[in-house]
Structure 1
Amino acid sequence: MGHREDLLEGAKRCLLQKGFVRTTARDIVKESGTNLASIGYHYGSKDALLVQAYVSLIEGVGEAQEGLGWGAGDARTAPLGSLERFQNLWADIIRSLPESRAVWLLSFELVLQGDRIPEVRRLLAEAQREGRSGLASLFTGIPETELDKETVETEGRFYVTLLNGLMVQWLFDPDSATDADQLTEGLRRVIAGTARDS
Structure 2
Amino acid sequence: MQKKLILASSSRYRRELLDRLGLEYDAESPDIDESSRPGETPKDTALRLSEMKAHAIWEKHPGSVVIGSDQVADLNGTKLGKPHTRERAIEQLTAMQGNVVVFYTALCVIDAEGRAEKLLSPTTIRMRSLKRETIEAYVDREKPFDCAGAAKIEKLGIALMASVESDDPTSLIGLPLMKLTTLLANAGVEVLPGLAESA
| TM bucket normalised to smaller | under 0.3
Higher helix share: 1
| Larger relative contact order, structure 1 or 2 (CA cutoff 8 Å, min sep 6) | 2
Larger Rg: 1
TM-score with structure 2 setting the length: 0.28
